[in-house]
Amino acid sequence: MGTETEYGISTPSHPGLSPIVTSTHAVVAYAAMNTGARSRWDYEEESPLKDTRGFDLRRYHTVPVVEPDAVGIANVVTTNGARFYVDHAHPEYSSPEVLTPRDVVRWDRAGDEVMLTAAAALAAQGDQIRLYKNNVDGKGASYGTHENYLVPREVPFLTIAAGLLPFFVARQVLVGAGRVGLGQFSEQPGFQVSQRADYMEAEIGLETTLKRPIVNTRDEPHAFGEKYRRLHVIVGDATLCDVATLLKVGTTSLVLGLIEAGAAPALELADPVAAIRAISHDPGLTRQVALQDGRDLTALEILAAYREAVENHLGTDVDDDTREVLRHWDAVAADLGEDPMRCVGRVDWVTKLAVLEGYRRRDGLEWGDPRLAAIDIQWSELDPARGLAARMRASGRLETLVGPDEVREAMVVPPEDTRAWFRGQCVSRYAGQVRAASWDSVVFEPAPGTRGLRRVQLPEPLRGSRADIEPLLDSV
């Protein structure tokens, strides 16, 4: 599994400057400072408009290798096996593939540090940018924090979707980032649980930038297509609390295990799109949503049904990574049911709400006050001197699962137990000879005296680990 984060970006000294240009500058500056020779992105196997339901909306063919510094499509493959590039009008960091929720937290946090390094590189050139790990600009635009999970192709997609819809609708109370304003354009004053909920407009679909679905149907496995799917999840928020990030991917992985085993609870919402918004608009967590069988359940009750199913399926003999997820799931769910404020420092929306309520009490602010919207944005700013979440982490008020040394190491070192190790090591060891790379291949320049490029395919995500291939690389 892994994450993709599109970061908000602004240039206060030049507010009219295109974010496409500033995002490009950020990627290029980071590459110049940290990676030396540039590797391009290999688009040969990219198919973002292929739908798992059997159709393809591609209207063009992208050339396999694109110049890495081109405005709007700048790319760098980093030594930790990640991808740092421009996606539309945002700098985006896509983490390397990992096997555990805790490693997701580690390499996701490494992405924040990559962004700060890029900002520092630009500042050294006299250009100031600000970066935000959030999903809305408060003026109607939303951008994504996506998750990716490797799942067996043999499990029917509609079975996956049916099992995930109620879970995704309810999951936000554990892992929502919180937001000032109700509606896509913050038409109504108030505070809600999720940044993305108001932008979900369909139950199932292919789109990611409009008519966004709760369950996405993109069929781009980046692996053996006949063996695997890559479940591309667009419904989640950008989280800054380690516990929330762990729960986001850990609980979803456990639910996917239920679905694969045919053990998911039999729940079907009457109107998932209305339900995800209703739950988001109720920080008190008392709102019930209708099921097709006539029952009305709260988000915590829906999650409890999934938790019970996990318990019945796995029993008590579980590995340490699973045990960690279950421990946090149980603790957070219990505290949310008793008093959400007990989750300050672990759950983003609760922690943000506590900060905002402090300002409201001190200054007598109503929810429609623009100062609260400004605080919402400042919460997510990455700059450790300005960002409220960053300052809370530095002062120990956010529960951390990975230390700063681990995060700094993950900026440059790939995970050892997936193909990301091979990708990152190739960029690190053979920077001048790596022509391009993607999730499932590395393309090398020809050796002196030979012709043509050499593409090494990596269709199996669990092959290419350090144990598999380090002796070979050491011998070359």
Active site residues: 87
Give the integer Cα–Cα distance in Å for 319 and 306: 19
Amino acid at 345: G
User: Are 1 and 256 a contacting pair, CB within 8 Å?
Assistant: no
User: Are 218 and 232 a contacting pair, CB within 8 Å?
Assistant: yes
Strands (E), 197-290: 200-205, 212-216, 228-233, 288-290
Torsion, CA 466, CA 467, CA 468, CA 471, rounded to 10: 80
Q: Single out the residue of 89, 92, 96, 99 nearest to residue 137, CA to CA.
A: 89
* DSSP for residue 446: P
Which class for 57: exposed (0-12), middle (13-18), buried (19 or more C-beta within 10 A)?
exposed
Give the integer Cα–Cα distance in Å for 249 and 150: 12
Tokens at 155, concatenated? 């499990």
38: β partners: none
- 3-state SS, residue 165: helix
User: Are 102 and 321 a contacting pair, CB within 8 Å?
Assistant: yes
CB half-sphere exposure, 464, CA atoms < 13 A: 27
Q: Are strands 200-205 and 212-216 parallel, antiparallel or unpaired?
A: parallel
